[in-house]
Amino acid sequence: MEIRQLTNEEFNAFSEQFIPSSYYQTAEYAFIMNHQHYDSMLIGAVEGNQIVAASLILMERAGMFKYAYAPRGFLIDYENLTLLTEFTKLLKKFLSKLDVIAIKICPSIVYKTYDLITNQVNIDPSYQRIFDYLKQNGYFHMGYNNFFESDKPRFEAIVNLKRPYYEIFQSFKKEMRTKIRSADRNGVQIYRGNAENVEYLYMQARKKYQRDIGYFKDAYAFFDKDHKVDLYYAKLNTETYLKICKVKYEKLEKMSNEINKQVLISKDKKKEMIINRKMIIDNQLATAKNDLVTATNLLRDFPTGVVTASAMIVKHQNKIFLLADGHDKRFKKFNSKHLLLWKIIEKYANLGYQSFSLGGVTNPTLKENNSYIGLTTFKNGFHPTFVEYIGDLELITNNPKYFIYRQTSPLRSFKKKKWCFVHHFFSDKKNRVCTLFLLFNNVWNVTSTNCSTTFTNRELSSIFDSDRSN
């Protein structure tokens, strides 16, 4: 067995047939991240003429150090201990030659699944065995905090599409179904976009994802080459909305006039009941009047309609992934995002796709002190399965350099991961003397000199630590 770089065609062919796989492990995603100033390579473990494992690897340089990252990698059978052991040995040698000090992975290894509507929690029976295999091969778990500590979210919401679309809709929470119907009634229409419409997504999602427009344009351009990407947007038809508001107002106004007459002629026993009904109708009429004013102003300001939500999805294997989505908060009341995601679900369920990843969430069972609970609540309306993955693991390829790297990194980053070094220190007898010398030397330098005078925070901070892309 040997590790070598793969062509784009070789890598994508392997990724397409490997289960489980993600669009993060594709040549297209490598191109996108290259444009985001990451170095990348597509590697494969080859036995004979057959690829038995593979991975996209991203690399960054922080000062004098190189650090690697495999998003949702590796593409390998983690239950095959022999294969995992051999691959790990070869990978360490391969990366060491490139002067890479460590590699971080966040593989698609499932720990638990949650159904918040039925309150079911299932533990994957193979998880503990795989976790033990990884530990045996020198991979150290980097910990977690139940929020968004990972470069790729540890918790993911996935909707099962292997059902008729009407069964999927009926499985949604009642509140979600109501909002979808409301958006449809109020004149929200769904359109398929193209490269020219990427700006809609950027304007609505830039604060959420903290990406420049180049990222979204690159994502569309590279995945579109093989027709693996679709862009959709929701548009409020302001003319239709005004007509709907007029009809509703006129209907309530007529009802209000009729009940006013009933109040005048009613007897004492029925009068109280009629007055209560009149109060309800009057409140509805006041709301309808405000909606009519709003609709009139919207038509004046947006005579051709206004884009209220957008979403970009990537197709990989028989799954679709929500790469990015957003909505205009000014028009939140129209529930455009709810209708948009439902129409995507409906379309791709009818096309035979088996699942739809709605992206990352926080721990779905964490309700107290969770400022992101709204994200989980919204996605739970579609009745997904919440999947908990293993999280981030790190494989050190150069122990002495890695130690210096962590010691000279910002304190936040070091605190999070320093215990990985402790484990590695006690498992690697050959490097103990060297490492202790470096420790003493480093402590001496820190106490006598401010490290920031030698290295900048930007040089020493891992850009992976701040990447929260989905």
| 183 and 330 belong to one structural domain | yes
Considering just the CA atoms, what is the radius of gyration of the chain in Å?
Answer: 28
Domain boundary among 353, 382, 417: 353
Q: What are phi and psi of 87, to 5 degrees?
A: -60, -45
pLDDT score, position 343: 98
Q: Write out pLDDT tens, residues 42-70.
A: 999 999 889 999 999 999 887 788 999 99
Q: What are phi and psi of 308, to 5 degrees?
A: -110, -20
404, part of any domain: yes
| 257 and 291 belong to one structural domain | yes
365, part of any domain: no
Grouping H, G, I as helix, E, B as strand and the rest as coil, residue 121 is strand
Q: Cβ(421)–Cβ(398) under 8 Å?
A: no
374, part of any domain: no
Pairing status of strand 355-361 against strand 319-327: parallel
362, part of any domain: no
**DSSP element (H, E) containing 282:** helix 268-301
| 217 and 329 belong to one structural domain | yes
| 233 and 344 belong to one structural domain | yes
Q: Cα-Cα-Cα-Cα dihedral of 307, 180, 353, 219, to 10°?
A: 20
| CA–CA distances in Å: residue 214 to residues 32, 147, 272 | 9, 27, 64
Helix, strand and coil content of the chain, in percent to the nearest 5, comes to: 50, 25, 25
Grouping H, G, I as helix, E, B as strand and the rest as coil, residue 29 is helix
pLDDT score, position 147: 66
221, part of any domain: yes
| 309 and 295 belong to one structural domain | no
Please tell me the distance from the alpha carbon of residue 23 to that of residue 315, in angstroms, as a whole number: 8
Grouping H, G, I as helix, E, B as strand and the rest as coil, residue 114 is strand
pLDDT score, position 449: 33
371, part of any domain: no
pLDDT score, position 272: 73
Task: Report the domain count for the chain.
Answer: 3
174, part of any domain: yes
Task: List, in sequence order, every beta strand (DSSP E) within 88-236.
Answer: 100-105, 110-115, 120-123, 139-141, 155-160, 188-192, 229-236
| 255 and 335 belong to one structural domain | no
Grouping H, G, I as helix, E, B as strand and the rest as coil, residue 69 is strand
Average pLDDT, the chain: 85
Q: Cβ(102)–Cβ(423) under 8 Å?
A: no
Give Cβ neighbours of residue 35 (< 8 Å, ≥ 6 apart): 214, 215, 218
266, part of any domain: yes
Q: pTM here?
A: 0.83
| 147 and 264 belong to one structural domain | no
Please tell me the distance from the alpha carbon of residue 259 to that of residue 275, in angstroms, as a whole number: 8
DSSP code for 366: -
Average pLDDT of adjacent 10-residue blocks, the chain of 470 residues: 95 95 96 92 94 96 87 95 97 94 94 93 96 96 73 91 95 97 96 95 87 94 96 97 96 89 72 82 93 96 96 97 95 97 97 96 83 89 96 91 76 41 47 47 39 28 34
**DSSP element (H, E) containing 324:** strand 319-327
| 105 and 193 belong to one structural domain | no
| 33 and 71 belong to one structural domain | yes
| 403 and 336 belong to one structural domain | no
Residue 46: which domain range?
2-111+120-152+391-466
> Which domain CATH number covers 396?
3.40.630.30
| 13 and 103 belong to one structural domain | yes
Q: Cβ(469)–Cβ(205) under 8 Å?
A: no
| 440 and 418 belong to one structural domain | yes
